[in-house]
Amino acid sequence: MATQGCPCGFYNDHVKTCTCTPNMIHKYLQRISGPLLDRIDIHVEVPRLKQDELMSKSSGEPSIKIRARVRQAREIQQARFTGTKIFNNAQMSSKLTKQHCKLNPDAEALLKQAIEQLRLSARAFDRILKLSRTIADLAAADSIGVEHIAEAVQYRSLDRKYWG
């Protein structure tokens, strides 16, 4: 799913200035309901690239390395769910989520703080937990750490900015 940030399409743009009023932007974004957002795992804002970013040769982690990490994360999940009817973290029931997404005290404190500050729904809470499990799997980490929770919370940016 993709959407513009406002009716004119230049919200947060560095080249053109958005001409919408805050009220227009609010109305526009309310077309997307909170319950619908809850059903989407990851939200990210994608601003227009600047000229020097387009020309830049260094493009982060090479895709061959990323592919290897994704494959490894899939294998971890397959092993985790052997003997069950599911095969990935997103499919976990609340019982399985509790079992596989145990948090250390620091990670739990950060998640609680995020839930309170962003006034997230129970479903968004669930999404963050499962997402943090996947982020930990991609790092081949046995347990979910503060950094994994922090990254998962970032992927709920629309909850934070416009809803709740």
Kindly indicate which of the ranges 9-17, 36-44, 82-90, 92-100 contains the residues binding Zn ion, using the contact rule CB under 5 A.
9-17
Kindly indicate which of the ranges 11-19, 89-97, 109-117, 143-151 contains the residues binding Zn ion, using the contact rule CB under 5 A.
11-19
SS3 24: helix
| Residue 1 CA: distances (Å) to CA of 40, 42, 49, 84, 116 | 9, 10, 20, 30, 27
- The single residue among 1, 2, 4, 6 that binds Zn ion, judged by CB under 5 A, is 6
- The single residue among 13, 20, 126, 138 that binds Zn ion, judged by CB under 5 A, is 20
Interacting residues with Zn ion between 48 and 87 (CB under 5 A): none
> Smallest distance, Å, CB 47 to Zn ion?
14
CB atoms within 10 A of CB 25: 17
| Residue 56 CA: distances (Å) to CA of 62, 66, 106 | 14, 20, 37
- The single residue among 13, 18, 108, 121 that binds Zn ion, judged by CB under 5 A, is 18
SS3 95: helix
Is 13 an interacting residue with respect to Zn ion (CB under 5 A)?
no
Is 32 an interacting residue with respect to Zn ion (CB under 5 A)?
no
CA distance 69 to 14: 34
> Which amino acid belongs to residue 70?
V
SS3 38: helix
Is 37 an interacting residue with respect to Zn ion (CB under 5 A)?
no
> Smallest distance, Å, CB 28 to Zn ion?
8
Helices (H), 81-119: 94-100, 105-118
Give the residue with the Cβ less far from Zn ion, 20 or 139: 20
SS3 16: coil
- The single residue among 3, 4, 8, 47 that binds Zn ion, judged by CB under 5 A, is 8
Q: Which positions lie near Zn ion, rule CB under 5 A?
A: 6, 8, 11, 18, 20
